Amino acid sequence: MRFKGIIIVSCIFFFVSLMLPNVSGAHFLWINPRAYQMNSGQSFYFTLGFGHLFPGAGGDFLPNDRVQKFYFIDPAGKRGDIIMDKYQILFRSSEIQTKSGTYMVFAERKGGFYTKTVEGFRLKSKEGLSDVLFCKYSRMYAKSLVNVEKPEGLTYEKRVGAELEIIPLKNPGLLKVGEYLPVTVLLRGKPFKKQKLYATYEGFSTSNLPAFSYVTKTDSHGKALIRLDKRGVWLIMARFEEPFEQKDKCDYFSLVSTLTFEIR
C-alpha cells in the first residue's frame, strides 16, 4: 500500500494569525487517560483536555456539563460507560477492566457557537450581537487507545461514526520509535482527501502558541502516515471547516477530531 503526499516539517508549526477565523478558535478536544498501560482489575480514569496546547497548561480541562458522549469499547467489542467521578473534570469507567487487550475510548463535546466581537468572545451565535468579527459553530471528537496487560485485538481500528474520525490502521501499542503509524481519516464516512493532518508528542513545545511536531497530508483515499520519532504520549489532529448554512446566524461550521496514544 502506497501513501502519497507526506510532508515532514522540521520546524515548529505555529498558528499565529489570531484574526483569521480558521485559526482563531484553534481549540481542540483530547482524552487524557491516567495511564495508557494498565494491569487487569483496575478502573479507567480520564480527564478531557480542551484548549490549543497539548498536553495542556494545567487547567485546560473540559467539565462534565460540556460532554455529549463518553464511553469505551473493550477488546471483545463490548461498549462500556464512562461516568463522572467526584470531581467535575474527572471521569472513570463504571466497572473494573479484566479483559486483556487494547481498549478504544471515545468522547464528544457538545456542539456550540463561538463568536468574536471587537469587545471579546461570546459563546453564542452572532444574532443580536454588534461589531461581530466572525462566528464559528464547532463539533469536537476525541479517541484514545488504552492497553490492559497486552496491546492486542482489533478494537483500535473500530469506527464510531463521528463526523470527522481518525482511524489507526495498526495498533500503536505494537509500534516502536521511528516507525510510521498508518491512519485513515473519514469525513462523514468518506475519505478526507488531500487535507492536512497534524501530530505532536508530549513535551515537544513549551510555547504558549499552538505547535505540532509533524504535519502531513492525506492522500486521495484519506490515508496518511505519521512518523513516531519520540517515545511517549502522542496526539494526532484533523480539522475541517465549511461555511455555515445560515449566514445571518454564524459564518463557519467546524469539525475537529483527535487521537491520543502512547509509544513505549
Catalogue all structural domains in the chain, each as residue range(s) with its CATH number. Answer: 13-263 (2.60.40.1930)
**Sorting pLDDT into bands at 50, 70 and 90, what band is 207?**
confident
Residue 158 half-sphere exposure toward CB, CA atoms < 13 A = 21
Per residue in 87-144, pLDDT tens?
Answer: 889 999 999 999 999 999 999 999 999 999 999 999 999 999 999 999 999 999 999 9
Distance between CA atoms of 97 and 78, rounded to whole angstroms? 12
Mean pLDDT of the chain: 89
| Per-residue confidence (pLDDT) for residue 6, from 0 to 100 | 38
**Sorting pLDDT into bands at 50, 70 and 90, what band is 206?**
confident
Element of type H or E holding 22: helix 21-24
Nearest Cα neighbor of 108 from 80, 139, 87, 136 is 139
Q: How far is CA 182 from the centre of its chain?
A: 16
**Sorting pLDDT into bands at 50, 70 and 90, what band is 264?**
very high
Q: In the chain, what percentage of residues exceed pLDDT 70?
A: 90
Residue 185 confidence (pLDDT) above 70: yes
Name the 3-class secondary structure at 244: coil
